[in-house]
A and B are shown apart, each in its own frame.
Chain A
Amino acid sequence: MNTAIAKHHTALLRQMLRIRKFEEICVELYSATRIRGFLHLYIGEEAVAVGVMNTLDASDALVTTYREHGHALARGVPMEAVMAEMFGRTTGCSRGRGGSMHLFDVKRRLYGGNAIVGGGLPLATGIALADRLRNESHVTACFFGDGAVAEGEFHECMNLAALWKLPVLFCCENNLYAMGTSLVRAQAQTDLALRASSYGMPAWAVDGMDVLAVEQAAQRAVETIRAGGGPCFLELRTYRFRAHSMYDSDRYRDKAEIARWKERDPIEALTVRMRDAGELTDDALKALHREVDDELQRAVAGAEAGPLEAVEDLTRFVYAEES
C-alpha cells in the first residue's frame, strides 16, 4: 500500500461522504418542513464534483447550477454556511437570500448556483475573459447538465469561448434526464462530447461514477487550459439516484434502470477499491462516518441557531451599499 495514495483516496471518500450525508439530512429536514423551497439532490453524482474540484486551485473560479450542494461543499464552503442557507439564515453563504439553488461564496470564487438552465455559461465565459485579459492563469470551471446542451446559451458560449480561447472547463453532468425528459427524447445527437468538439475544443466523455477517472480527466483538461490551449469540455456520465426534486414522483424512469445505476454507486465503488488495496479498514471507515456525522450535527445545530434577517432589511443588496 502506498500511503500517499491511500491518503488521497481517503480524502476523496471523505468529500463524497460529506456530500451524501449532507443531502440525506436535507431530505429529513425537508420532510419535516424545517427547510423549504426546491431541493435538488446530487445523490449518486458525488464523484463528479469531488473529482473535478480536487484539480482546481483556490484562485480558480466556479459557476454551477441549482443542483450544487456538492459543488459548494467540495469547493470548501463550510458545511454550516451551506446548511444555514438552507434554513434561510443570515449566516448562510448567501445570507438566506439565495437558498438551495443559489449558493455563493465569492471569497472562494464560487459565483453561484444558477437556476436558469444554461444561464451560468455566459457568466463563466465572462469570468474567464476577465482572467485572460489580465493575463491570469486561472481556470473557470462551469457545471451544467445535459439539458443545457439543448439551450441556445450553450452553443453561443461554446463558440465564444473557443473563438477567444478562453480558460473555461465546461463540465457537463450528463445524468440522462432534463427534469423528466430523457436525453434520447430531447436531443437529436446524444453524444454530447461530439457536439462540443464541433466547436474545435478538446472534448471527451468520462465515467462520472468513478471519482478517480473524473479526477484524471479533469487534471488533463485543466493542464491543457492553463497552458493556454483554450476551453475543454468534459461529458461526465452520471446518474441521480433520487428524483429531480422533492416534488417529483419520478414516474418517467424505470425502476430497473435506477437499480442498475445504484450498483455503480461512486462511494461504494471507491470503498471497495480501497478495501481491496488494503487502504481502508473497517475501523477507519467507521471513524470516517463518525467524523462526517459529527460535522453534520454541528452544522445543523449551528445553522438552525443562526439569526434571521430583520424584515426591515428586506430590500438590502438590490444595489451596492455605501461603504
Chain B
Amino acid sequence: MTTTYREALREAIRDALRRDERVFLMGEDVGAYGGCFGVSLGLLEEFGPDRIRDTPLSESAFVGAGIGAATAGLRPIVEIMTVNFSLLALDQILNNAATLRHMSGGQVGVPLVIRMTTGAGRQLAAQHSHSLEGWFAHIPGLRILAPATLEDARGMLWPALLDPDPVLIFEHGSLYNLAGELADDAGPVDIDHAAIRRPGADVTVVTYGGCLGKCLDAAEQLAAEDISAEVIDLRTLRPLDDATFVESVRRTHRAVVVDEGWRSGSLSAEVSARITEQAFEELDAPVERVCSAEVPMPYAKHLEDAALPQPDGIVAAVRKVVSGGG
C-alpha cells in the first residue's frame, strides 16, 4: 500500500494501543488537535481521552509523569513537540528515566517511550530545528532510535514499548510527508542493528535519520562517476551497532560520516572514533565528516540550506577520501 511516514507512525501507535491496554499516548495537542505534525490525528476519537491525553504545556511534568506511570506498570508513549522543547524535560529524562534503575540497585525500571521531532529543513529557525539526538545518545540508560524509512516509522514503536528501559524515538521533521510503498503486513522491526541501505565497494557512508535520503542521492551521483558508495543507516544511535559499520569499512577502506548535528563533540565524532579505534589499519584515508555548520539554525532558506549537510557536500567528501588514499 502507498503510505507516508506520518501515517506509518500513526498506524504504529494505533497498533500498540490495540495490542496492549497499558499503552497510552500523552503530550501537547496530541488529542483534539491531532498532533502538532498530525501524527495522532483521529486517535482521540478512536481511543478516548484516557488513552490519548492532551497535556498542559509542562514538558517536565508530563515527561516525568510518563516516567512515574511507566515505573508503576503502564506503558506510556510521551510525545514532545520538538527536540528543542525536550530541554525543558532534560532533568526528568537524565536524572530520572536514565538513572532510576541504577540508583535503585536494579529495583526500578522505566519502560517508557518518548517520541519527538528533530532536525531542520523547514525554515523554523533556531528554536525548532536542531538535531540534539547525539546529546541524548551520550546518556547511559537510554536507547535512542532514529527511523529514516517507512518500515522503521511503522515498526520501531512496538519493540521500543517492549524494551524494559526508556527509549527515545527521533522523527526527522522533513520526513513526515515522505511517501512510498509499505507492505500490507509491515510490523515490528529489529531495533538492535544498523542497516546497509545501498551496498557499495569503494567507500562507506554512515548516516541516520533525515540525512539518509541525502546520502542516497549522493551515492546515485557518485555512481555516475564510477564511485560505488555503501550507505549505512545507523537506525539505533544508542547502543551503536559498531559491528555493521566497522565491517563495511574493512571492505571499503574509506569512511564518510554524515550527521545533521553540530560537528564538535557530536555523534559523528563518536562514529569516527570507533572506526579509527577498531579499523585504523584498514583505512586508506582519514575519516571525513559532513555535519551542520556550527551556528544556531538561521531562518532564511539559502542560509538554512548552507548550514545543513547537502548531497553536494557529501559527494565532495567522498571524492576527497577516495582520491586521498592509496
Binding site for B on A (CB under 8 A): 61, 63, 90, 92-98, 102, 104-106, 111-112, 114, 116, 119, 121-131, 133-134, 152-153, 156-157, 159-160, 163, 316-321
- What chain A residues lie within 8 Å of B11 (beta carbons)? none
- What chain A residues lie within 8 Å of B165 (beta carbons)? 319-320
B58 part of interface (Cβ distance < 8 Å): yes
Flag B76-106 by CB within 8 Å of A: 1 or 0 each.
Answer: 1000000000000001100110001111111
- Of the A-B pairs whose beta carbons lie under 8 Å apart in the complex, a sample of 6, sorted by A's number, is A114-B96, A122-B65, A122-B92, A126-B65, A160-B62, A320-B164
With A97-B102, A153-B61, A320-B109 already in contact, the answer to whether A130 and B92 are too (CB < 8 A) is no
B71 part of interface (Cβ distance < 8 Å): yes
Interface of A is mostly: mixed
**Which one of B92, B95, B141 lies within 8 Å of A318 (CB-CB)?**
B141
B114 part of interface (Cβ distance < 8 Å): no
**Are B74's CB and A317's CB within 8 A?**
no
**Are B101's CB and A320's CB within 8 A?**
yes
In chain B, positions 147-178 with a C-beta closer than 8 Å to chain A are 164-165
With A125-B65, A127-B72 already in contact, the answer to whether A153 and B100 are too (CB < 8 A) is no
CB of A239 to closest CB in B, whole Å = 28
With A112-B100, A122-B61, A156-B56 already in contact, the answer to whether A94 and B71 are too (CB < 8 A) is no
Q: CA A131 – CA B106 in complex, angstroms?
A: 22
**Are B96's CB and A106's CB within 8 A?**
no
**Are B63's CB and A131's CB within 8 A?**
no
Q: Which partner residue on chain A sits nearest B102 by CB separation?
A: A317
**Are A96's CB and B68's CB within 8 A?**
no
- What chain A residues lie within 8 Å of B73 (beta carbons)? 130, 134
Tally of contact residues, B, Cβ under 8 A: 39
Q: CA A318 – CA B50 in complex, angstroms?
A: 32
With A119-B95, A119-B96 already in contact, the answer to whether A104 and B104 are too (CB < 8 A) is yes
The tally of CB-CB contacts under 8 A between chains A and B is 144
Q: CA A125 – CA B73 in complex, angstroms?
A: 14
- What chain A residues lie within 8 Å of B32 (beta carbons)? none
- What chain A residues lie within 8 Å of B5 (beta carbons)? none
**Are B101's CB and A318's CB within 8 A?**
yes
Kindly list the 4 A-B residue pairs having the minimum CB-CB distance in the complex, ordered from nearest: A122-B64, A126-B68, A95-B105, A156-B61
With A159-B61, A160-B61 already in contact, the answer to whether A123 and B103 are too (CB < 8 A) is no
**Are B105's CB and A160's CB within 8 A?**
no
Additional A-B contact list (7), CB under 8 Å, known A122-B61, A126-B68: A96-B105, A112-B103, A126-B67, A130-B71, A134-B74, A152-B60, A160-B56
Q: CA A159 – CA B13 in complex, angstroms?
A: 27
**Which one of B72, B91, B100 lies within 8 Å of A61 (CB-CB)?**
B72
CB of A119 to closest CB in B, whole Å = 6
**Are B105's CB and A129's CB within 8 A?**
no
Flag B44-64 by CB within 8 Å of A: 1 or 0 each.
Answer: 000000100001101011111
Q: CA A124 – CA B297 in complex, angstroms?
A: 37
**Are B74's CB and A133's CB within 8 A?**
yes
**Which one of A102, A124, A160 lies within 8 Å of B58 (CB-CB)?**
A160
Q: CA A204 – CA B56 in complex, angstroms?
A: 25
- What chain A residues lie within 8 Å of B102 (beta carbons)? 97, 317-318
- What chain A residues lie within 8 Å of B96 (beta carbons)? 114, 119, 122-123
B66 part of interface (Cβ distance < 8 Å): yes
